[in-house]
Amino acid sequence: MELFLAARVQQDSLPHPFIGDKVHVNTIFEPYSIVSGDLFNYKWFEGQNKLCGYIVDVSGHGVATALQTATFKMMLDNVLLTGEKIEMGDLQIINQRIMHYLYEDSFIALLYFEFDLKAAELKLISGGITLFLAAKPHECSLVPMSGCYLGIIDDPDIEMVTIPLKAGEIYCMMSDGASDLIELHGIHKQGSFTDYKNWLEKLTESPERNDDFSVICIEILEVTKNDLIGPNQNFLKT
């Protein structure tokens, strides 16, 4: 009974889908067992035209892991979802804090994302989640990043990248339970935002699945600085 209650609490803590004038967000949350080691949240800042969020994968799948995700959610919301500027140093601060809460041999993988629609730019900061899906009108791919897991060493390597945005693009931030299956089954370009979500939901039924499966799907509906975006620009690493 307590396990199912923990699962209900996890589900209730997830953000609702968001449909705005400039961005559309929907999610998939499929625990491998009753409770999940995955966690995500996001927030739209209307005055800044900015969507900020994160996705976290805590090692393990049991009740202890679920309890840890609840602790980390409050911490991450207070650091990452304030509307303030987030840099790599903020993930270093998170790393130091979570080391006091992680059980022995546990760690977390984290990806912070910030869609700035005024600047027409996506900022990503990786602490262990190193793949995301980028779907543009004529191509779709898993894009690699680098970045060490958090909670293991005092000063992990963390990577930040910035990517120019254009209206019509779709991005999917995901835990490795999702990206592993995409790598296994291959990427299939879809015709719409709904099609991408349906395709990813179908992957959760794969017999090869052996992990929690979480995805945040974001569709860019409108950006301000279209004139600054060239079709062949690459993302910038820090």
Sheet holding 108-116, edge to edge: 38-45, 50-58, 108-116, 121-127, 159-164, 236-237
Quick one: pLDDT at residue 68? 81
Which of 206, 224, 221, 237 minimizes the C-alpha distance to 30? 206
Quick one: pLDDT at residue 203? 97
Sheet holding 170-174, edge to edge: 18-19, 23-30, 213-220, 170-174, 131-136, 139-144
DSSP class of 150: B
Quick one: pLDDT at residue 227? 42
Quick one: pLDDT at residue 229? 41
Residue type, 23: V
Quick one: pLDDT at residue 228? 44
Full-model pTM? 0.92
Q: What is the mean pLDDT of each run of 10 residues along the chain (238 residues)?
A: 82 95 97 92 97 94 77 94 96 94 88 98 98 95 97 96 97 98 95 97 96 98 64 51
3-state DSSP: the chain helix, strand, coil percent, rounded to 5? Answer: 30, 35, 40
User: How far is CA 17 from each of CA 6, 41, 43, rounded to the nearest angstrom?
Assistant: 22, 11, 11
Which of 129, 112, 100, 158 minimizes the C-alpha distance to 37? 129
Name 218's bridge partners: 25, 171
Which of 133, 128, 163, 132 minimizes the C-alpha distance to 146? 128
What is the C-alpha to C-alpha distance for residues 219 and 134, in angstroms, rounded to an integer? Answer: 10
What is the C-alpha to C-alpha distance for residues 58 and 177, in angstroms, rounded to an integer? Answer: 12
SS3 99: coil
Quick one: pLDDT at residue 230? 44
The CATH class for the domain spanning 2-237 reads alpha beta
